[in-house]
Amino acid sequence: MNGEKLILLPDNGAIHQLNATAGFVWELCDGRTPMTEIVSTFASRYDLSQPAAERDVQAVVGQLAALKLLEE
């Protein structure tokens, strides 16, 4: 679906639709990859400066956490 991802939360049946950039960040949030590496990978993928990539990744991670799409 044009790079979008659908995520189903089995505990409550909620479905979340992530755009391509949010889906890319979500895939990188595997619990093993350091945030610095996620930011660097994101910056390379979307041709962004490190500060812009860090700002964008932090925003996406915050939204994913608020939606309970990341484990702590």
**16-28 pLDDT per residue, tens:** 899 999 999 999 9
DSSP3 helix / strand / coil % (the chain, rounded to 5): 55, 15, 35
pTM of the model: 0.86
Task: Determine the Cα–Cα distance for residues 6 and 23; give it in Å rounded to an integer.
Answer: 9
What is the residue range of 33's domain? 20-72
Provide the residue type at 35 as one letter. M
pLDDT attached to residue 61? 96
Q: What domain count does the chain have?
A: 1
Q: Is 4 domain-assigned?
A: no
Phi and psi at residue 9, to the nearest 5°: -95, 110
d(CA 58, CA 36) in angstroms, rounded, equals 11
Confidence of residue 1 (pLDDT cuts 50, 70, 90): low
- Average per-residue pLDDT for the chain: 91
Domain membership of residue 51 (yes or no) is yes
Say if CB 59 and CB 66 are below 8 A apart: no
- Give the pLDDT band (50/70/90) at residue 4: confident
